[in-house]
């Protein structure tokens, strides 16, 4: 109880700093994934249900893009958490083959994010001193 509120400010600052990157990642997952409409639908429907304000859009967008359900009962370091299922209405259970699909999508998103950053830098190159 004594340390319950310790670190809340840094946690909120972390959420704020990660906000733009998380939204960019979610958009790029929708653009690069096999089901862009599914990604946007899952993002809009489920992102706010995730406990993290930045992981929610990304995980929901990936779930929709890949056509799978993510979340539910999870175990982290021996601690069990029950989270909402993302893309529950249109997704199917994850299969082993989906891991490779998710890795490919993640790589495409990473390359696109790099492209966005390079383009942004090139566009602003002459404007900063």
Q: What is the pLDDT of residues 86-108, one digit of tens each?
A: 999 999 999 999 999 999 999 99
**Is the residue at 1 inside a domain?**
no
- On whether the CB atoms of residues 84 and 63 are closer than 8 A, the answer is no
**Is the residue at 12 inside a domain?**
yes
What local confidence, expressed as pLDDT, does residue 127 receive?
A: 73
The mean per-residue pLDDT over the stretch 98-120 comes to: 97
**Is the residue at 72 inside a domain?**
yes
When divided into structural domains, the chain yields a total of 1
Q: Is the pLDDT of residue 13 over 90?
A: yes
Q: CA 6, CA 21: separation in Å to the nearest integer?
A: 26
Q: CA 102, CA 98: separation in Å to the nearest integer?
A: 6
Domain hosting 44: range is 8-127
Q: How confident is the model at residue 6 (pLDDT cuts 50, 70, 90)?
A: confident
Calculate what percentage of the chain has a pLDDT beyond 90: 83
Q: How many CB atoms lie within 10 A of CB 3?
A: 6
Q: CA 29, CA 108: separation in Å to the nearest integer?
A: 8
**Is the residue at 57 inside a domain?**
yes
- Kindly report, residue by residue over 68-92, the tens digit of the pLDDT: 999 999 888 889 999 999 999 999 9
Q: Is the pLDDT of residue 49 over 90?
A: yes
Residue in 91, 93, 101, 99 with CA at minimum distance from that of residue 33: 101
With a threshold of 0.95, does the pTM exceed it?
no
**Is the residue at 2 inside a domain?**
no
What local confidence, expressed as pLDDT, does residue 11 receive?
A: 87
């Amino acid at each position: 109880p004594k340390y319950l509120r310790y670190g809340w400010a840094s946690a909120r600052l972390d959420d704020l700093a990660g906000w733009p990157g998380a939204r960019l990642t979610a958009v790029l997952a929708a653009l690069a994934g096999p089901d862009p409409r599914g990604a946007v639908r899952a993002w809009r429907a489920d992102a706010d249900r995730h406990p993290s304000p930045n992981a929610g859009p990304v995980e929901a967008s990936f779930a929709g893009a890949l056509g799978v359900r993510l979340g539910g009962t999870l175990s982290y370091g021996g601690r069990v958490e029950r989270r909402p299922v993302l893309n529950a209405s249109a997704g199917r259970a994850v299969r082993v083959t989906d891991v490779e699909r998710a890795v490919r999508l993640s790589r495409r998103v990473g390359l696109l994010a790099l492209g966005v950053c390079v383009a942004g830098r090139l566009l602003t190159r002459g404007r900063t001193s």
